[in-house]
Amino acid sequence: MRLLDRYILRLIAVPFLIGLLTFVVILLGEAARSLGNAIFGARVPPLLIAEYLAYCAPQAAVWSFPFGTLLGVSMVVTTLTRRGETTAIRIGGVSFLRFCRPLLAVGLLASGVAFWLTETWAPVATNKSQEVFARMTQTQPVVREEFNQFFRDQYGRFFFVRHMNADANTLEDISIWQEDQWGRLVEFSTAKRAALEGRVWYLQDGVTVDFDQYGQPAPNGTVRFRLKPIVLEQALQRYYAEKRTPFQMSTQELEDLARTMEEGGKDTQRLRVELQFKYSIPCACLIFAMIAAPLAFRHSHMGSYVGIVLSVLVIFLYNGVRSWALAFGLAGTLPPSVAGWTMNVLFGGWGLWLLARTK
């Protein structure tokens, strides 16, 4: 690594962390506001609230890495240009693209870390935050009115409920299936309803079928029942505490859920769109680095804080395009891959054009 690269990387560390932490605090503030609306009037210990927000932090960090990259690159280029160091570096025979190499490397590294977070820590921390939320509200698995709902429990079982009857506090027309580690069906159960008696849920009027390793019903593996206890409390608490959005699941979980819904003949457009966004959002770090460097270089004469202003403007533009693409994707107007990558293709093309035009 050349001296120039090390120098630029040292400079970018502080503004990158400032941008990252600032956006994390903003997102956690929004989470705290939503939490306040949900537990209004409840006496919740401050440590429990702090624990909930701590578990929300990894997901907030995933969304904050692009802003940290954008602010860090903008501030470094603005500072070096206003101090005349960029000019001196270029007089020494270094091209602008070579000057940007460590900045682009930071963007690429930030994209990798953001994707790693969204695949590892973020889903686990989100599950923990839901458990903490359930403790705060002391929720019981009381049914809310819903139709055609899919969810998964802590044992890896998949549930489909045709009707969650809020008036009777029952689940109606339930299908439950469990797969092994290779994705093969090992057990399938159906029941007309599930009702809560005390703290135990019971399936009523149903049948359970065991399957062999070839996916065929096992001999004597079909059992009919009138009442069958089932562990549902934690699954429903996780489902209701804050319904997990696709961004709060790993890509594998999304793929599994989409495949399960497709096997049941359900529309998976929404899940496929969200899955594409899980890949595209972390890539924004690299794209923002491509945009920020030439923009900050061109407009550094406007003031020391031009990097901050440019960062805010680019974030607003990017989120605007992302919101429209997401809306059209969820509506089925755009294919999932087009909806998920439109903003990256547009802004990535803009960044390449700016880099090519900056001499």
pLDDT band at residue 39, thresholds of 50, 70 and 90? Answer: low
pLDDT band at residue 174, thresholds of 50, 70 and 90? Answer: very high
The full set of domain ranges for the chain reads 3-130+271-357, 142-231
**For residues 49-70, average pLDDT:** 89
Angle at 320 between CA 317 and CA 325, to 5 degrees: 125
Residues 6+ apart with CB under 8 A from 100: 289, 293, 294, 355
pLDDT band at residue 321, thresholds of 50, 70 and 90? Answer: very high
Residues 6+ apart with CB under 8 A from 93: none
pLDDT band at residue 17, thresholds of 50, 70 and 90? Answer: very high
Does 37 or 322 have the greater pLDDT score? 322
Instruction: Give the closest residue to 344 by CA, choosing from 276, 257, 264, 248.
Output: 276
pLDDT of residue 248: 57
**For residues 97-118, average pLDDT:** 91
pLDDT of residue 138: 56
**For residues 199-218, average pLDDT:** 86
pLDDT of residue 190: 93
pLDDT at residue 171 tops 50: yes
Does 50 or 156 have the greater pLDDT score? 50
Q: pTM higher than 0.85, yes or no?
A: no
* pLDDT tens by residue, 112-152: 999 998 888 887 887 788 778 767 765 444 566 788 888 77
pLDDT at residue 175 tops 50: yes
Mean of the per-residue pLDDT values of the chain: 83
Residue-wise DSSP of 33-99: HHHHHHTTT----HHHHHHHHHHHHHHHHHHHHHHHHHHHHHHHHHHHHHTTHHHHHHHTT--HHHH
pLDDT band at residue 181, thresholds of 50, 70 and 90? Answer: confident
pLDDT of residue 111: 94
pLDDT at residue 290 tops 90: yes
pLDDT of residue 300: 80
pLDDT band at residue 41, thresholds of 50, 70 and 90? Answer: low
Query: Distance (Å, rounded) from C-alpha 219 to C-alpha 228?
Result: 21
* pLDDT tens by residue, 219-255: 888 999 999 988 776 666 555 544 555 655 677 777 7
pLDDT of residue 184: 83
pLDDT of residue 85: 87
Does 156 or 288 have the greater pLDDT score? 288
State how far Cα 30 lies from the chain centre: 16
pLDDT of residue 242: 42
pLDDT of residue 140: 45
